[in-house]
């Protein structure tokens, strides 16, 4: 984990990129969960 924090200190722009990727993954997860919730006909 120390390597990651060192890398992010050297490349601060990547903090925003990682945050955006995590946000997109969580949004996709919510959409998938809502889509599979309709188990009826």
Q: What is the pLDDT along the chain (41 residues), one digit of tens a residue?
A: 679 889 989 999 999 999 999 999 988 877 777 765 555 56
**Cβ contact 8:14 at 8 Å:** yes
pTM: 0.58
- Between CA 22 and CA 24 the distance in angstroms is 5
Query: What pLDDT is attached to residue 28?
Result: 81
Query: What pLDDT is attached to residue 34?
Result: 72
Query: What pLDDT is attached to residue 35?
Result: 64
Query: What pLDDT is attached to residue 22?
Result: 93
- Between CA 29 and CA 41 the distance in angstroms is 23
């Amino acid at each position: 984990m120390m390597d990651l924090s060192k890398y992010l200190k050297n490349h601060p722009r990547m903090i925003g990129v990682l945050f955006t990727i995590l946000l997109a993954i969580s949004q996709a997860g919510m959409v998938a969960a809502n889509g599979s919730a309709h188990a009826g006909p």
